[in-house]
Amino acid sequence: MAEVYDLAIIGGGINGCGIARDAAGRGCSVYLCEQNDLGSGTSSASTKLIHGGLRYLEYYEFRLVREALQEREVLWRMAPHIIWPLRFVLPHLPGLRPSWFLRLGLFLYDHLGGRDRLPGTRGLDLRCDPAGQPLKPGFARAFEYSDCWVEDARLVALNAQDAAARGATIRTRTRFLTATRADGLWTVTVEDVRSGRRSTIRARALVNAAGPWVAAVLNQGVHAGVDARIRLVQGSHIVVPKLFDHDRCYIFQNADKRIVFAIPYERDFTLIGTTDRDYEGDPAAVHASEEEIAYLCAAAGEYFAKPVTPADVVWTYSGVRPLYDDGASTAQAATRDYVLAVDAPQDGPQDKQAALLSIFGGKITTYRRLADAAIAKLTPFLPKLGAAGSGWSSATTLPGGDFPVEGFDALVAGLRREFPFVAPAHMQRLARAYGTRVRTLLNGATRAEDLGRDFGATLTEAEVRYLMAEEWAETADDVLWRRSKLGLRLGREQAEALDAFMAEERARRMRASDAAE
Ligand SMILES: Cc1cc2nc3c(=O)[nH]c(=O)nc-3n(C[C@H](O)[C@H](O)[C@H](O)COP(=O)(O)OP(=O)(O)OC[C@H]3O[C@@H](n4cnc5c(N)ncnc54)[C@H](O)[C@@H]3O)c2cc1C
């Protein structure tokens, strides 16, 4: 008979993994399936901001903005290695939003709640501040305010890692096929996409956290009476060699009323995004179009003294926002808030009703609050969930984040003393990715040779093995574009050598696990 879990979750993006962590932390048995790699959907294609969303104030989304503002420092405390404060420079452009309007928005932003450590807004004179230096002459005034940066795909992996440490079963490369409800349980059929092998599990409740695929899962696999109100909105980013030398980010107002960010990225680059346009088709096939690339170059070119051209672009990425369809006229106006829909047969005791929870919308910033709200919705059906109470998830750090919130430099200095053979820039990168888990990764190494082969750009065999053993990495893409962004630095041959190594390593691990059974 197939194993019975309290909760089965479809989708290993930020929302699925966030719910898995929260539920496992409250003592539930959890099963999560992800058809590809963790975070391979929208959750690795964001602008990577933990932000209140200044522009959402224009759409009166006060509930969302307040919740998001409060989450900034909560998430920073939970994972100070992969989340850190960022200052945003908003130049004033005559003819667009008036200065009083920006000042009012930023006053609300500073005071809606949740700001303890992050510095507040200030005015800048761009004629003498270094932030004015890369801009065209003529920009005189700007505001500067705070939000945070997040390594989005790593946030997903760390939530999955923590969920697993609390007992959750995480299955990547495992596609959900169908679920049927009978006798108070879901029977869920999944397929291992590597082998084609099908298997079933049973669960007391089911969560559809399939992001842009939420409607496909409902229509093809579950056939429950849920109205799939989803609006798919594409957003693309471009990466160019760095355009400025300071560590602040720009938020540019565009003539079409949209805003575009230019963010310092991976030390040597600038990240520019994003776009907003309705999307149809397979979310997995989304890619930045030439038109979007030209739009982003032009938007940046309105502000930077040096033109930004499509020829400068070294990498692009694109994602599909799974927004709740609130009937807004334009893609940029569609709500960024989340909606949780519960479906359960209305007969018998609630804890025997096999509830289905579907998630529409949501931001990376609010994933923990969304998970908390999801658990509240499911508690009548799974009373065990309520027992631990809410809020535990904010009080517990994510893997590697157990050091003081403003103690990153001290962490790096300590690690450098323990592992003096690791070069400073290499250690800085490792500490940013793994925090205190660097010690597990380096696993008692006392000299550089102990870390094994170097695949390029300081990516060693020790790191790859750690990612395979602890973070479900299986291919070079998982390592180069989601667990890290070293794909920006490795050439094709180096990536192929990494892929070959990982394939061998996977086969070796499979043989070892077969022998153990
Ligand atoms: C361009 C852009 C910029 C953004 N910027 C920000 C930002 O700066 N800050 C912020 O807070 N938010 C931002 N967001 C929003 C945020 O990225 C998303 O709301 C969030 O990542 C959605 O997460 P998710 O878990 O719902 O979906 P996903 O990350 O897409 O996860 C769903 C997962 O389900 C899996 N799946 C689907 N079908 C199946 C199946 N049948 N079986 C198994 N698995 C399945 C998919 O493979 C996928 O991995 C941005 C979004 C976009 C597109």
pLDDT one-digit tens code per residue, 53-79 = 888 788 778 888 999 999 999 999 999
Per-residue pLDDT, 378:
96
Q: How far apart are CA 253 and CA 262, in angstroms?
A: 11
**Residue 515 pLDDT class (50, 70, 90 cuts):** confident
Per-residue pLDDT, 110:
92
pLDDT tops 90 at residue 400: yes
Distance 33 CA to ligand 1 centre (A): 15
Query: Residues 511-515: what's their mean pLDDT?
Result: 86
Query: Does the C-beta of 53 come closer than 6 Å to ligand 1?
Result: no
- Give me the amino acid identity at 173: R
**Residue 491 pLDDT class (50, 70, 90 cuts):** very high
Query: Residues 389-414: what's their mean pLDDT?
Result: 94
Per-residue pLDDT, 346:
80
Per-residue pLDDT, 54:
83
Query: Residues 196-219: what's their mean pLDDT?
Result: 96
pLDDT tops 80 at residue 387: no
Distance 34 CA to ligand 1 centre (A): 12
pLDDT tops 80 at residue 333: no
Query: What are the pLDDT digits (tens) for 245-287?
Result: 999 999 999 988 899 999 999 999 999 999 999 999 999 999 9
Distance 449 CA to ligand 1 centre (A): 39
Is domain 408-516 in CATH 1.20.58.1610, yes or no?
Answer: no
**Residue 22 pLDDT class (50, 70, 90 cuts):** very high
Per-residue pLDDT, 484:
98
**Residue 423 pLDDT class (50, 70, 90 cuts):** very high
Q: How far apart are CA 208 and CA 360, in angstroms?
A: 9
* Helices and strands per DSSP (H, E), number in the chain: 15, 18
Per-residue pLDDT, 335:
79
Q: How far apart are CA 374 and CA 342, in angstroms?
A: 9
- Whole-model pTM? 0.97
pLDDT tops 90 at residue 24: yes
Query: Does the C-beta of 235 come closer than 6 Å to ligand 1?
Result: yes
Fold of 4-42+154-229+336-395: FAD/NAD(P)-binding domain (3.50.50)
pLDDT tops 90 at residue 205: yes
Query: Does the C-beta of 49 come closer than 6 Å to ligand 1?
Result: yes
Which is nearest to 168 in space by CA: 33, 15, 1, 38? 33
Distance 211 CA to ligand 1 centre (A): 5
pLDDT tops 90 at residue 432: yes
Query: Does the C-beta of 362 come closer than 6 Å to ligand 1?
Result: yes
Per-residue pLDDT, 120:
96
The DSSP code for 397 is P
Q: Please, which residues have CB within 8 angstroms of residue 405's CB and are 6 or more apart in sequence?
A: 76, 77, 80, 117
Query: What are the pLDDT digits (tens) for 73-121?
Result: 999 999 999 999 999 999 998 777 888 888 888 998 999 988 999 999 9
Pick from 47-56, 131-140, 426-435: least confident: 47-56
Q: How far apart are CA 482 and CA 152, in angstroms?
A: 8
Query: What 3-state DSSP class applies to 381?
Result: coil
Per-residue pLDDT, 331:
76
Per-residue pLDDT, 446:
97
What percentage of the chain carries pLDDT values higher than 90? 81
Query: Does the C-beta of 52 come closer than 6 Å to ligand 1?
Result: no
Pick from 346-360, 425-439, 447-461: least confident: 346-360
The DSSP code for 39 is T
CB count in 10 Å sphere of residue 459: 25
Most informative mutation of 213, 272, 320 for ligand 1 (most atoms within 8 A of CB): 213
Q: How far apart are CA 321 and CA 340, in angstroms?
A: 16
Query: Residues 237-241: what's their mean pLDDT?
Result: 98
Residue nearest (by alpha carbon) to ligand 1 atom 50: 46
Query: What 3-state DSSP class applies to 512?
Result: helix
Pick from 296-310, 354-368, 379-393, 429-443: least confident: 379-393
Per-residue pLDDT, 352:
81
The per-residue pLDDT of the chain, averaged, comes to 94
pLDDT tops 80 at residue 479: yes
Q: Where are the domains of the chain?
A: 4-42+154-229+336-395, 238-324, 408-516
Query: Does the C-beta of 211 come closer than 6 Å to ligand 1?
Result: yes
Half-sphere exposure of 177 (CA within 13 A, CB side): 13
Query: What are the pLDDT digits (tens) for 125-171?
Result: 999 999 999 999 999 999 999 999 999 999 999 999 999 999 999 99
Q: Which atom of ligand 1 is nearest to the CA of 364?
A: 11
Distance 279 CA to ligand 1 centre (A): 14
Q: Please, which residues have CB within 8 angstroms of residue 77's CB and are 6 or more apart in sequence?
A: 394, 397, 405
Fold of 238-324: D-Amino Acid Oxidase; Chain A, domain 2 (3.30.9)
Q: What is the SS3 assignment for 67-107?
A: HHHHHHHHHHHHCCCCEEEEEEEEECCCCCCCHHHHHHHHH
